[in-house]
């Protein structure tokens, strides 16, 4: 093991292998990461310098999407693959809404529980996206009322062999009409260099990833109505100003969309 285990780090986690949630936390400027995660992130940035900006653009998309859902009347959020708490959490953007954070990374859940200790509307649980039933059974979310289901930058860590499409369909089937699905996913971008090196790097981590084509990503929205502007690169989704998009939105590496259940 590299370094001493902090008191807040669950004994069940492997500190010797980088983890996607902790690497993402480091890229966003968080402190809930370990030496192996930081070394991994620095290797990633050498291969793909835009990775840090891509993480922040993805986080900015999350903020805009949550604000959109609130404006549409949503009062409860189910955030699966929520990651480690950093600035701009869902409960901060929607302070009057009920929020359930779900992640399979014990560090993410531990930090969320500490952060939410005095918040009666928000809570966290350990769970896996590909095992929907325990998550859907949580009493925190009332599935008789519209819900915003968030799956932001998580599905690209789930291979097809684990059944991500079937899992997403199970969640969607549990949502009442008027609910929304907010999703972002690493996408194939032929103009971006270094993706094969990054793939090999992630294969050595605890969270190997898989990029999918826009058509494959759009398939996760089956049975739903995509709201404008549809499935686009993260900075293109309802930017606060045109300047945020830039000349090459594909360098964000991640496509995103929001869809409504009719």
Question: Minimum mean pLDDT among 18-27, 170-179, 213-222: which range?
Answer: 18-27
Whether 90 and 79 have beta carbons less than 8 Å apart is answered as: yes
What integer pLDDT is reported at residue 2 of this predicted model?
42
How high is the pLDDT of residue 242? 84
Assess contact for 24 and 12: CB atoms under 8 A. Answer: no
> Both ends of the chain: CA-CA distance in Å?
50
List of E strands, 91-214: 98-103, 122-126, 148-152, 180-186
Burial class (CB in 10 A: 0-12, 13-18, 19+), 215: exposed
Contact 218, 231 (CB under 8 A): yes
Residue 148: per-residue pLDDT: 98
Q: What is the pLDDT of residues 31-69, one digit of tens each?
A: 878 888 899 889 888 888 888 989 999 999 999 999 999
Contact of 105 with 80, CB cutoff 8 Å: no
Domains and CATH numbers, the chain: 20-260 (3.40.50.150)
**8 Å CB contact between 261 and 176:** yes
Residue 32 has a pLDDT of 79
Contact 259, 177 (CB under 8 A): no
Residues 233-257 pLDDT 10s: 999 999 998 888 888 898 898 999 9
Whether the predicted pLDDT of 218 surpasses 60: yes
Burial of 83 (0-12, 13-18, 19+ CB in 10 A): buried
Burial class (CB in 10 A: 0-12, 13-18, 19+), 8: exposed
pLDDT higher than 50, residue 156:
yes
Inter-CA distances, 251 with 54, 62, 205, 233, 255, Å: 7, 17, 23, 9, 10
- Position 233 scores a pLDDT of 96
What pTM does this model have?
0.87
Residue with tokens 């109505």, as numbered in its chain: 225
How many other CB atoms are there within 10 angstroms of residue 75's CB atom? 16
């Amino acid at each position: 093991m590299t370094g001493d285990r902090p008191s807040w780090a669950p004994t069940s986690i492997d500190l010797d292998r980088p983890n996607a949630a902790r690497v993402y936390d480091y890229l966003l400027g968080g402190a809930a990461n370990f030496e192996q995660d930081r070394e991994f992130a620095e290797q990633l940035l050498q291969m793909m310098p835009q990775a840090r900006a891509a993480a922040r653009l993805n986080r900015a998309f999350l903020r805009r999407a949550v604000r959109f859902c609130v404006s549409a009347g949503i009062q409860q959020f189910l955030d699966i693959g929520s990651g480690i708490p950093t600035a701009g959490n869902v409960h901060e953007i929607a302070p009057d809404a009920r929020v359930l954070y779900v992640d399979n990374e014990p560090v993410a859940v531990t930090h969320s529980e500490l952060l939410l200790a005095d918040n009666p509307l928000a809570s966290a649980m350990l769970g896996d996206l590909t095992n929907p039933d325990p998550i859907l059974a949580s009493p925190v979310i009332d599935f008789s009322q519209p819900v915003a289901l968030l799956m932001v930058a998580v599905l690209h860590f789930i291979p097809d062999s684990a059944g991500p499409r079937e899992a997403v369909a199970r969640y969607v089937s549990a949502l009442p009409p008027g609910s929304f699905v907010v999703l972002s996913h690493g996408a194939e971008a032929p103009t971006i260099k270094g993706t094969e090196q990054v793939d090999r790097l992630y294969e050595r981590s605890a969270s190997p990833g898989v990029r999918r084509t826009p058509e494959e990503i759009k398939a996760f929205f089956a049975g739903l109505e995509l709201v404008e502007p549809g499935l686009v690169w993260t900075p293109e989704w309802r930017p606060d100003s045109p300047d945020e998009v830039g000349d090459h939105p594909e360098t964000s590496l991640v496509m995103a969309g929001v869809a409504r259940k009719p």
